[in-house]
Structures are given as C-alpha cells and as structure tokens.
Amino acid sequence: DTEVTQTPKHLVMGMTNKKSLKCEQHMGHRAMYWYKQKAKKPPELMFVYSYEKLSINESVPSRFSPECPNSSLLNLHLHALQPEDSALYLCASSPSLAVSYEQYFGPGTRLTVT
C-alpha cells in the first residue's frame, strides 16, 4: 500500500474559523511533510516531521500549526487565515529523511478562505 490519504478533499472557511487538515499513511514511513501549492505554481515546503518531531518550519506564519500525534498521522491546524492562504495543501511521506528515499504525495486538500 503506497497510499497517502488526506481529508477533507475540499474546505471553505472564513477568516475567523478554526479548522484542521488531516493526513494519514500506513506505509510505516517516519518522515512526513506539508507542502502548499498556489494556483499555477509549484509546491512549496512548509513543514517537515521526522519520527514525530518537527524538523523544519520554513518560516510559515503561526496561523498554521502542524501536529504529528503518531507515526501515521499528520495534522495541520488552521486559525485566522487570510484569503491569500487559499491553495492546495499537499501532504507527503517517505521512509525517513535519508536523501535516497522517494516522497509519496497525497491527493491534497483544496482550501478556500473567504
């Protein structure tokens, strides 16, 4: 099973809402990633988790709060977002942070902030 799942597929939220994105994999991978992709742009790295510990935060605003409660699950908590945060949020995983490994991506959550 080489599948990364993400829920929800679509999310519309107001600027005062609090919501969460969920990512799950059952491949035994110990590295998980959040990427953000704006329309017609390439994905950009947001966060990296290794063995449930945050390894990288690419200067992401605090209104985005990641959480890795266990080795299979990665959440992204959203609060007080801006319309410019509307994007496709992609989750990925790999066996570890070792550079030789392939990253597997989920289908993404399409977020619209109104």
Partner 1 sequence: KQEVTQIPAALSVPEGENLVLNCSFTDSAIYNLQWFRQDPGKGLTSLLLIQSSQREQTSGRLNASLDKSSGRSTLYIAASQPGDSATYLCAVRSGGGADGLTFGKGTHLIIQP
**Chain positions contacting partner 1, by CB under 8 A:** 6, 33, 35, 41-45, 48, 50, 55-56, 88, 90, 92, 97, 99-100, 102-108, 110
Distance CA 41, CA 74 (A): 24
Compute the least distance from the CB of residue 104 to partner 1, in Å. 6
Closest CA to 93 of 51, 43, 41, 38: 51
Distance CA 77, CA 21 (A): 6
State which residue, 75 or 79, has the beta carbon closest to partner 1.
75
| Number of residues assigned to the chain | 114
Closest CA to 111 of 80, 92, 91, 83: 83
State which residue, 48 or 81, has the beta carbon closest to partner 1.
48
State which residue, 17 or 57, has the beta carbon closest to partner 1.
57
Compute the least distance from the CB of residue 109 to partner 1, in Å. 10
Reported as type and span, the H/E element at residue 35 is strand 31-37
Compute the least distance from the CB of residue 80 to partner 1, in Å. 25
State which residue, 85 or 89, has the beta carbon closest to partner 1.
89
